[in-house]
């Protein structure tokens, strides 16, 4: 800690207590690619099967997958009493090429260290594709670099994306900690223990991956000179504001500890819409759009977990400055004229393929192709980024006149929840994106702790965003157990402010005029929000110059006259279990709050443990023989009050019903409960089929 505010921190010197006889390895990887589990298995193999001592530390954030993980391993003949991370490694594993382009990962390597690089490029191309600072570090430290295309090998053996076994085998080959045949036997024994219950096919595929991991590693020819002019990509791109660049950027690099105390906001508030600056580039394949095949149904936009697929209908003249090859076609709407265009952000996509699975449009001349087809990201990235940047510059499709109860029209609404750090193919985030599209410019979210609070508001970035007018969702996270009460408090506070504003309004009859006063005192529904905004702006204009203290009081609460949409969001662990008492109390109160339960039927954020939402016979942690009791009927319990709007929805089963339920819940003057089925990686399924 660098305390430059109160001066309580102490300086300390850099010291090195590493044992020169030990193997010190650092692995940089992507969350959920299996690297952490493989490294834990490596520690067990070496610690239990050899006379060497073993130690491991693992650094990762609270996102379940998709973010960076760093494994610090030590092996040696002497006891390892070292309660700190490896600062000087003689082996560095880089399991994700994209990290190499933006992180100084070789800083931790000592002179002469071995580097293992997972590369999507052929070995002969790798050197020229490395950023200049990486080439400089390799030459300066005389590093030995080895290359393997683990993603390609994983696809060959039928384990796409699961590179852990291949990279583990490559580590044993290069480190020489164990003889090669013995290492293979030990790894396979660990695989049997980890995956034995998943059947013979899974075991055989992993055994094959072990063999390929030993065979496919190749040394990188190093020419002895710098051949690249490419610099490291900054952690935050696309012209980020100063705070995002100077504070959130270092945190994203894992260097937050170096920031002084004065750099942080004293009141704990952080800007929204910061996830757009990350551009993580973690997908191997991304969807590409064929406008000739597309039927403009909007299903791909609706299911995309990371809001990387956007659609607009724009006037034909708006495309005058479009880059070459910008895809578009005539809009297929009776009510809208112009050009329909769909764009995809390749560096924000996670490659889950949900959009391709959801796409109903097939090429009549080649039925194997759809309107969306997956392509290697590195091959199409440059052109797609040009198209994406131009797409963002196009005007938003006017909201007025859109039929918001149809999926086809909802796709044209601007999302105010974008690029969350959720798992690839997440089943929860599409509901939140839809919520932000429908009500985002007046939305207030009370978020229970869980997956949705981690990808929704965990430092350094947040996906909750704002539109060009600066309006967007306000978001806050309280405890796991009191989120319903937390959201009710928000509703009551807004209602009290609105009541106070209405009480003050008649005192300014002469200044405001009878017509404006009558409009401000009249209750309004969701469809009249924009008109009410204009009236409040007129109120501010007419009261702005008054010195009357009552005028200042009214101006302070005037925004409460605009209908705000208060949503209480959480998972089934909160709604069915730990927070149920509070949820029941809030629903019984009759207050105008809406509750969205992201029901994965397990405790997703803590590893997939059974909850009261888990179905009868379902296998989950704490219910490995199948849950002995049926799923709690939360919907029926809420319906018993008689005044609660209740809907059970599943976007994959009926997307039109999902949209309709959100609109009906919002229109209901009282509490509403939406129970949204959400598939999850904890289910152990192919997320593209969720």
Residue with tokens 């704002």: 466
Q: What is the dihedral of CA 387, 31, 254, 150, to 10 degrees?
A: -80
Burial of 632 (0-12, 13-18, 19+ CB in 10 A): middle
Return the pLDDT at 579: 97
CB atoms within 10 A of CB 659: 23
Interhelix angle for 164-175 vs 200-215, to 10°?
40
Can you tell me whether residue 639 is helix, strand or coil?
helix
Instruction: Give the DSSP letter string of 343-369.
Output: EE-TTT-----HHHHH---EETTEEEE
Alpha-carbon gap, residue 63 to 49, rounded angstroms: 33
Structural domains in the chain?
23-219 (3.40.920.10), 285-413 (3.30.70.20), 474-491+564-689 (3.40.50.970), 498-561 (no CATH)
Please say whether the dihedral angle defined by the alpha carbons of residues 204, 168, 83 and 263, taken in this order, is positive or negative: negative
DSSP 415: P
Q: What is the dihedral of CA 420, 424, 429, 431, to 10 degrees?
A: 150
Return the pLDDT at 610: 96
Return the pLDDT at 527: 83
Return the pLDDT at 16: 87
**Pure H helices in 513-612:** 514-521, 529-543, 549-557, 572, 580-589
Q: Are 454 and 31 in contact (CB under 8 A)?
A: no
Residue 127's nearest CA partner among 227, 196, 194 is: 227
Q: Are 376 and 285 in contact (CB under 8 A)?
A: yes
Q: Are 4 and 262 in contact (CB under 8 A)?
A: yes
The per-residue b/e assignment along 58-89, b for 16 or more CB within 10 angstroms, e otherwise, is bebbebbbbbbbbbbbbbbeeebebeeebbeb
Alpha-carbon gap, residue 538 to 534, rounded angstroms: 6
Successive 10-residue mean pLDDT values, the chain, 690 residues: 93 89 95 89 91 94 81 96 95 94 93 97 96 97 98 93 93 92 93 86 94 97 95 93 96 90 93 94 96 98 98 97 97 95 97 97 96 97 97 95 95 98 95 98 97 92 96 93 97 98 97 96 90 97 93 97 97 97 98 98 94 96 93 98 98 97 97 98 88
Residue 419's nearest CA partner among 284, 279, 302 is: 279
Q: Are 55 and 43 in contact (CB under 8 A)?
A: yes
Rounded to 5 degrees, what are φ and ψ at 524?
Answer: -125, 150
The kind and range of the H/E element at 685 are none
Pairing of β 144-148 and β 565-571: unpaired
Q: Are 176 and 182 in contact (CB under 8 A)?
A: no
Residue 484's nearest CA partner among 592, 569, 572 is: 569
Q: Which residues contact 124 (CB under 8 A, 6 or more apart)?
A: 221
Q: What is the dihedral of CA 184, 190, 195, 199, to 10 degrees?
A: 50
Residue with tokens 């024994």: 189
Tokens in use for 302?
């609706």
Burial of 631 (0-12, 13-18, 19+ CB in 10 A): middle
Return the pLDDT at 276: 96
The DSSP bridge partners found for residue 28 are 70, 94
Return the pLDDT at 177: 87
Please say whether the dihedral angle defined by the alpha carbons of residues 27, 31, 33 and 36, taken in this order, is positive or negative: positive
Return the pLDDT at 31: 85
CA 522 to chain centre: 41
- List the end-to-end C-alpha distance of the chain, in Å, as a whole number: 44
Return the pLDDT at 571: 97
């Amino acid at each position: 800690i660098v305390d430059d505010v109160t001066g309580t921190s102490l300086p300390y010197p850099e010291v090195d207590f590493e044992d020169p006889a030990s193997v010190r390895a650092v692995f940089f990887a992507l969350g959920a690619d299996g690297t952490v589990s493989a490294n834990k298995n490596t520690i067990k193999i070496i610690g239990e099967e050899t006379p060497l001592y073993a130690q491991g530390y693992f650094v990762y954030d609270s996102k379940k997958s998709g973010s960076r993980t760093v494994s610090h391993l030590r092996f040696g003949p002497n006891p390892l009493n070292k309660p700190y991370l490896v600062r000087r490694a003689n082996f560095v594993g880089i399991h994700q090429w994209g990290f190499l382009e933006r992180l100084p990962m070789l800083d931790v390597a000592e002179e002469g260290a071995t580097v293992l690089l997972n590369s999507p490029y052929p070995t002969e191309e790798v050197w020229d594709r490395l950023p200049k600072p990486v080439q400089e570090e390799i030459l300066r430290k005389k590093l030995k670099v080895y290359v393997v295309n683990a993603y390609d090998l994983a696809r060959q053996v039928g384990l796409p994306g699961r590179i852990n076994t291949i990279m583990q085998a490559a580590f044993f080959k290069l480190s020489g900690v164990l003889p090669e045949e013995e290492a293979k036997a030990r790894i396979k024994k660990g695989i049997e223990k980890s995956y034995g219950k998943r059947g013979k096919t899974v075991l055989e595929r992993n055994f094959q991956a072990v063999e390929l991991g030993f065979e496919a590693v190749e040394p990188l020819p190093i020419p002895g000179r710098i051949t690249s002019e490419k610099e490291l990509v900054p952690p935050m791109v696309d012209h980020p504001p100063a705070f995002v660049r100077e504070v959130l950027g270092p945190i994203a690099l894992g260097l937050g500890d170096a920031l002084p105390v004065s750099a942080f906001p004293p009141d704990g508030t952080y800007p929204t819409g910061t996830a757009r600056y990350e551009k993580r580039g973690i997908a191997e394949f991304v969807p590409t759009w064929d406008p000739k095949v597309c039927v403009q149904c909007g299903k791909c936009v609706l299911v995309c977990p990371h809001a990387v697929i956007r659609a607009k209908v724009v006037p034909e003249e708006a495309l005058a400055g479009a880059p070459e090859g910008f895809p578009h076609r005539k809009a297929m709407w009776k009510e809208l004229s112009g050009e329909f265009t769909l764009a995809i952000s390749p560096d924000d996509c996670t490659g889950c393929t949900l959009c391709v699975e959801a796409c109903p449009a097939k090429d009549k001349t080649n039925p194997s192709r759809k309107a969306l087809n997956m392509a290697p990201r590195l091959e199409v990235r440059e052109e797609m980024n040009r198209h994406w940047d131009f797409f963002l510059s196009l005007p938003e499709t006017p909201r007025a006149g859109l039929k918001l109860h149809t999926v086809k029209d909802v796709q044209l609404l601007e999302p105010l929840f974008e690029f969350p750090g959720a798992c690839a193919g997440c089943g929860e985030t599409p509901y939140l994106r839809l919520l932000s599209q429908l009500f985002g410019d007046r939305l207030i979210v009370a978020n229970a702790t869980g997956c949705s609070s981690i990808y929704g508001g965990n430092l350094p970035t947040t996906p909750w965003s704002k539109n060009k007018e600066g309006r967007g969702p306000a978001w806050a996270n309280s405890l796991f157990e009191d989120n319903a009460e937390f959201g009710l408090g928000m509703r009551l506070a807004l209602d009290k402010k609105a009541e106070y504003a209405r009480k003050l309004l008649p005192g300014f009859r002469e200044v405001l005029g009878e017509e404006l006063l009558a409009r401000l005192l009249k209750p309004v529904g969701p469809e009249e929000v924009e008109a009410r905004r204009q009236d409040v702006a007129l109120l501010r204009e007419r009261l702005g110059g008054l010195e009357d203290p009552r005028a200042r009081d009214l101006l302070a609460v005037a925004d409460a006259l605009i209908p705000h949409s208060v949503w209480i969001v959480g998972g089934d662990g909160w709604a069915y279990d730990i927070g149920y008492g509070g949820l029941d109390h809030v629903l019984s109160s009759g207050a105008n709050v809406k509750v969205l339960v992201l029901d994965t039927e397990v405790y997703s954020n803590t590893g997939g443990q059974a909850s009261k939402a888990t179905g009868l016979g379902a296998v989950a942690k704490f219910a490995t023989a199948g849950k002995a009791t049926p799923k709690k009927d939360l919907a029926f319990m809420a319906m018993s009050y008689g005044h609660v709007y209740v809907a059970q929805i599943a976007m994959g089963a009926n997307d039109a019903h999902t949209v309709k339920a959100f609109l009906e819940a919002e229109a209901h003057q009282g509490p509403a409960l939406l129970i949204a089925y959400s598939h999850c990686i904890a289910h152990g399924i192919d997320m593209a089929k969720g």
